[in-house]
A = this chain, B = another copy of it.
Amino acid sequence: MRELRRDPLTGHWVALAPDQTPNRSAVALAAQDPLLLRSPSSCPLCPGAEIHTPPEVYAHRPPVGPASQRDAPGWSLRVVPHRYPALGIEGDMGRRSEGFYDRMNGIGAHEVLVETPDHRRGLHDQSEPEVEQVLWALRHRILDLRRDSRFRHIVVSRAHGQQAGATLSHPHTELFALPVVPRPVRERVDSARRHHEERDRCLLCDIVDHETAAQRRLVYENSSFVVICPYASRTPFETWVVPRRHRPRFEESPSEEMPALASALRMALRRLWAALGGPCYRLVLHNAPFVDRLVDYVHFSIEIVPQVGPGCSVDQSGGLHINPTPPEEAARYLRQLRELPESLPQ
Chain A residues within CB distance 8 Å of chain B: 5-18, 20-21, 24, 26-27, 29-33, 86, 98-101, 153, 155-157, 159, 162, 164-167, 176, 178, 182-185, 187-188, 191-192, 195, 203-204, 206-207, 210, 214, 230-234, 236-237, 275-277, 279, 282, 284-286, 305-306, 308-326, 329-330, 333
Report Cα–Cα, A31/B316, bound state, in Å: 22
CB nearest neighbor in B for A181: B319
Question: Are B15 and A236 interface neighbours, CB within 8 A?
Answer: no
CB nearest neighbor in B for A233: B14
Which residues of B lie under 8 Å from residue A32 when comparing CB positions?
309-310
Which residues of B lie under 8 Å from residue A204 when comparing CB positions?
9
Which residues of B lie under 8 Å from residue A333 when comparing CB positions?
26-27
Which A-B residue pairs are the 7 nearest by beta carbons? A182-B319, A313-B313, A155-B318, A7-B232, A165-B312, A30-B276, A5-B232
Question: Are B99 and A214 interface neighbours, CB within 8 A?
Answer: yes
Given known pairs A5-B232, A182-B319, the reply for A308 and B191 (CB within 8 Å) is no
Q: Choose among A6, A10, A16, A275 the residue with the greatest number of B CB atoms under 10 Å from its CB.
A: A16
Task: Choose among B86, B182, B279 the residue that contacts A30 (Cβ–Cβ < 8 A).
Answer: B279
Report Cα–Cα, A21/B206, bound state, in Å: 34
Report Cα–Cα, A17/B306, bound state, in Å: 18
Given known pairs A18-B325, A234-B14, the reply for A313 and B310 (CB within 8 Å) is no
Question: Are A183 and B275 interface neighbours, CB within 8 A?
Answer: no
Question: Are B30 and A326 interface neighbours, CB within 8 A?
Answer: no
Question: Are B12 and A325 interface neighbours, CB within 8 A?
Answer: no
Question: Are B317 and A157 interface neighbours, CB within 8 A?
Answer: yes
Q: List 24 A-B contacts (CB under 8 A).
A: A7-B234, A9-B203, A11-B187, A12-B321, A13-B319, A14-B320, A14-B321, A24-B324, A26-B237, A30-B277, A30-B279, A86-B320, A101-B232, A155-B318, A157-B317, A159-B312, A162-B310, A165-B311, A165-B312, A182-B314, A183-B319, A282-B316, A285-B318, A314-B315
Report Cα–Cα, A50/B329, bound state, in Å: 34
CB nearest neighbor in B for A36: B310
Question: Are A326 and B16 interface neighbours, CB within 8 A?
Answer: yes
Given known pairs A26-B329, A308-B30, the reply for A206 and B324 (CB within 8 Å) is no
Shortest distance between the CB of A106 and any CB in chain B (Å): 10
CB nearest neighbor in B for A153: B319
Report Cα–Cα, A164/B316, bound state, in Å: 9
Question: Are A10 and B187 interface neighbours, CB within 8 A?
Answer: yes
Which residues of B lie under 8 Å from residue A29 when comparing CB positions?
236, 308-309, 324-325
Report Cα–Cα, A183/B277, bound state, in Å: 33
Task: Choose among B6, B284, B313 the residue that contacts A318 (Cβ–Cβ < 8 A).
Answer: B284
Question: Are A101 and B231 interface neighbours, CB within 8 A?
Answer: yes
Question: Are A318 and B156 interface neighbours, CB within 8 A?
Answer: yes
Shortest distance between the CB of A330 and any CB in chain B (Å): 6
